[in-house]
């Protein structure tokens, strides 16, 4: 498939006025994206071990000065890699705004209480799906998975769905963050923040 002729012209606001504190800038961009994008809280999460790099889409469930929070099965590929290296990177892409926001940082495991609270807030059927799924492990067929789900759904219809022990929350610290705003003629704006040892952030313009 020849993709040489695929082109898009980017346009965007001047981002020089973004706050010096990247968390506040993050909040502004995410709030704006939630008004225009179909799935604004989805981001690509990259994890690794010494011989393997993996990436997939996950949903952000909290944003604070401490970082980005998401939840997953700790026995999944990403869970195993996070538990081994305690570091990750992510990128949000908001095509309608011609923006992307990437970040990197150390990963911490949230408390069991945090995991329990969020798990209990999920729709009942989503909890059932997590309860029966050994995420990332082989399954005989999709029909087998669906049958297991329907059986568990009947059993747990009027019961609280227990959180799988390995269903956990993770937080990625905002140690390095780049705000990318598409501009005409590919002269894109790239504003990079890096957290220094004193906790303050440096701010640097990068060439496109």
44 neighbors 91 (Cβ within 8 angstroms): yes
In whole angstroms, what separates CA 108 from the centre of its chain? Answer: 14
pTM over 0.85: yes
pLDDT of residue 8: 84
What average pLDDT does the structure give for the chain? Answer: 95
pLDDT of residue 137: 86
| Residues of the chain above pLDDT 70, percent | 100
pLDDT of residue 7: 86
pLDDT tens track for 29-59:
999 999 999 999 999 999 999 899 999 999 9
* CA distance between the termini of the chain: 27
pLDDT tens track for 157-203:
888 999 999 999 999 999 999 999 999 999 999 999 999 999 999 99
pLDDT tens track for 132-160:
888 888 889 999 999 999 999 999 988 89
Q: Give, in degrees to the nearest 5, the angle at Cα 63 between 195 and 12.
A: 80
DSSP states of 96-130 as a string? GGTEEEEEEEEEEEPPHHHHHHHHHHS-HHHHHHH
- The CATH T-level fold of domain 22-119+166-206 is Pnp Oxidase; Chain A (2.30.110)
pLDDT of residue 12: 87
Q: Per the residue annotation, which of 7, 52, 154, 186 is the catalytic one?
A: 186
42 neighbors 15 (Cβ within 8 angstroms): no
- Angstrom distance (rounded) from CA 18 to CA 15: 6
Dihedral of CA atoms 96, 98, 104, 108 in degrees, nearest 10, equals: -20
| Residues of the chain above pLDDT 90, percent | 86
149 neighbors 128 (Cβ within 8 angstroms): yes
86: left (phi over 0), alpha (psi -120 to 50) or beta: left
Establish whether 186 is a catalytic residue: yes
């Amino acid at each position: 498939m020849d993709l040489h002729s695929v082109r898009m012209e980017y346009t965007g606001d001047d981002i020089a006025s973004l706050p010096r504190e990247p968390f506040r800038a993050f909040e502004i961009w995410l709030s704006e994206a939630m008004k225009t994008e179909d799935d604004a809280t989805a981001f690509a999460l990259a994890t690794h071990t010494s011989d393997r790099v993996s990436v997939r889409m996950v949903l952000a469930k909290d944003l604070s000065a401490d970082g980005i929070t998401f939840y997953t099965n700790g026995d999944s590929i990403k869970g195993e890699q996070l538990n081994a290296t305690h570091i990750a990177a992510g990128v949000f892409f908001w095509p309608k705004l011609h923006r992307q926001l990437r970040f990197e940082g150390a990963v911490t495991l949230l408390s069991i209480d945090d995991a329990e609270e969020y798990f209990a807030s999920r729709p009942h059927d989503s909890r059932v799906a997590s309860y029966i799924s050994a995420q990332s492990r082989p399954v005989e067929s999709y029909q087998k998975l669906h049958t297991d789900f329907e059986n568990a759904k009947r059993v747990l219809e009027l019961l609280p769905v227990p959180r799988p022990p390995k269903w956990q929350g993770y937080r990625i610290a905002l140690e390095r963050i780049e705000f990318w705003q598409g501009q005409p003629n590919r002269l894109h704006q790239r504003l990079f923040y890096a957290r220094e040892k004193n906790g303050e952030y440096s701010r640097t313009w990068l060439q496109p």
